[in-house]
Structure 1
Amino acid sequence: MKKLFCVLAILCLFSLEGFSQDVRLNVYGSYVFADKFDSYWDVGNNYYYEGRIEDGFQWGGGIEYVVNDMIGVEVLYLRQDTNSPTRYSYSGFVDRRTNFDLGINYILVAPSRYFKAPSGNLEGFFGVMAGVVIADLYNPDNGNENNATKMAWGVKGGGIMWGSERVGLKVQAQLLSAVQSVGGGFYFGTGGAGAGVNSYSSIYQFSLGGGLVFKLN
């Protein structure tokens, strides 16, 4: 799934290259707020997990083709290293608590609509995002590692202040989420010997930040 998405994203960008007005390199840094999650999938046996994804710093970058004055299409990567204190119970593991190490990777395609100010130094934008989230989870209690890939979506909005013809400062708000309904939600490998919890629990990550924009052509 990851490989197919990356190939489609690259083909999409190359197909737009001949029509692009600008090619931009975007470098991102944002503060991501914490988010709670829970799942109670077997009430009779008291199987559940609940916890939170801690807040932290998210970084990344992307290549954007601005097709015309109003439309841009970006392929971007975002990364957050954080922790997830989680309480869970299932199959002999009763009311366990673990502070997981969690790495969250987003690979997204993001079309945006731009709105230029009359002065020409300011640009507003609003965009949507779609792609995949890749979660790398480590359990410090037993040394187990696991990862999962899910579909992801998001929205963003903000503005760019151009300090020169080639360099601008971007400020934006952003919401990213893993899709719950496709093959389960977020995955937490909490047990040992191949056991784990794989149930429905979406995550919603809201962030504030921005970065720098460089025109490459």
Structure 2
Amino acid sequence: MKKLIFFLALMIFCSLEGFSQDVRLNAYALYTFADKFDSYWDVGNNYYYSGKIEDGLQWGGGLEYKVNELLGVELLYLRQDTNSPTWYRRVAGPDQFTNFDLGINYIMVAPTRYFRATGSPIEGFGSLMVGVMVASLTNPDNNREDTATKLGVGVKGGMIYWGAEKVGIKLQAQLLSAVQSMGGGFYFGTGGAGAGVNSYSSIYQFSLGGGLVLKLN
């Protein structure tokens, strides 16, 4: 999946390079809000897991080709290092608790629509994102690790203030989600990390922040 996304993005960028008005380098720093998840898959035995992905800093960068005044295409990477305190039960016995270490990576392609009034230093934008989410989960109790790679989708929108010809300040809001096939849901791989849970739960990460935009040509 990751190789396919990179290949498609490379083909898009190569085909658009000769027509682009400018190339932009975007740097991001966003505050990501906490998100809860839960799953109950055996009601009779009360097997379940319930927890949250804690809030924290999400950072990254992107390379964007501006096709024309209204359209850009960006390849971006975002990373968050956080924790996931989780209660769960899989076998007969008391509930168990683990505060997992969690690293979340998004690799996305984002077509972006721009809006700008003539002579204005403010440029508005809206974007759809599609790519992959790679999550690495570590159980600190036994150092077991598990990794899940799933389809990622998202939306973002905001504004860029161009204080100089080639330097802008970006403010944006975004929503990212990991989906399982077409039905929705993120495989929270606590089984490999020692919790013994194999089920599905959706995650939705809402972020506010921004960063810098640099025109490279």
TM over 0.5: yes
- What's the counterpart of residue 72 of structure 2? 72
Report the more deviating stretch, 12-21 or 23-32: 12-21
- What's the counterpart of residue 123 of structure 2? 123
- What's the counterpart of residue 187 of structure 2? 186
Give percent identity, aligned residues only: 68
* TM-aligned CA distance change 1:93 to 1:177, over 3 Å: farther
- What's the counterpart of residue 109 of structure 1? 109
8 Å Cα contact 1:177/1:203 also seen in 2: yes
Deviation at 1:46, TM superposition (A): 1.5
8 Å Cα contact 1:151/1:182 also seen in 2: no
Report the more deviating stretch, 97-106 or 44-53: 44-53
Q: Which secondary structure does the structure 2 equivalent of 1:205 belong to?
A: strand
- What's the counterpart of residue 138 of structure 2? 138
Kindly provide the CA deviation profile for residues 161-217 of structure 1, in whole angstroms up to 9, marking residues without a partner as x: 001110000000000001144585232324677x73232201000000000000001
Deviation at 1:117, TM superposition (A): 2.4
Q: What TM-score results when the alignment is normalised by the length of structure 1?
A: 0.94
Whole-angstrom CA distance in 2 between matches of 1:181 and 1:104: 19
Alignment of 1:1-217 (within 5 A): 1-92=1-92, 94-182=94-182, 185-190=186-191, 196-217=196-217
Amino acid of the residue matched to residue 189 of structure 2?
F
Q: Which secondary structure does the structure 1 equivalent of 2:118 belong to?
A: coil
Deviation at 1:112, TM superposition (A): 0.8
Whole-angstrom CA distance in 1 between matches of 2:56 and 2:77: 17
> What 5-or-longer segments of structure 1 have no aligned partner?
none
Aligned-residue CA RMSD (Å): 1.7
Whole-angstrom CA distance in 1 between matches of 2:59 and 2:166: 22
Report the more deviating stretch, 197-206 or 167-176: 197-206
Report the more deviating stretch, 39-48 or 73-82: 39-48
> What 5-or-longer segments of structure 2 have no aligned partner?
none
Amino acid of the residue matched to residue 187 of structure 2?
F
Q: Which secondary structure does the structure 2 equivalent of 1:130 belong to?
A: strand
Deviation at 1:7, TM superposition (A): 1.7
Deviation at 1:92, TM superposition (A): 4.5
Report the more deviating stretch, 59-68 or 1-10: 1-10
8 Å Cα contact 1:186/1:203 also seen in 2: no
Report the more deviating stretch, 15-24 or 154-163: 15-24
Report the more deviating stretch, 71-80 or 12-21: 12-21
Deviation at 1:142, TM superposition (A): 1.7
Q: What TM-score results when the alignment is normalised by the length of structure 2?
A: 0.94
8 Å Cα contact 1:150/1:182 also seen in 2: no
Q: Which secondary structure does the structure 2 equivalent of 1:10 belong to?
A: helix
8 Å Cα contact 2:114/2:124 also seen in 1: yes
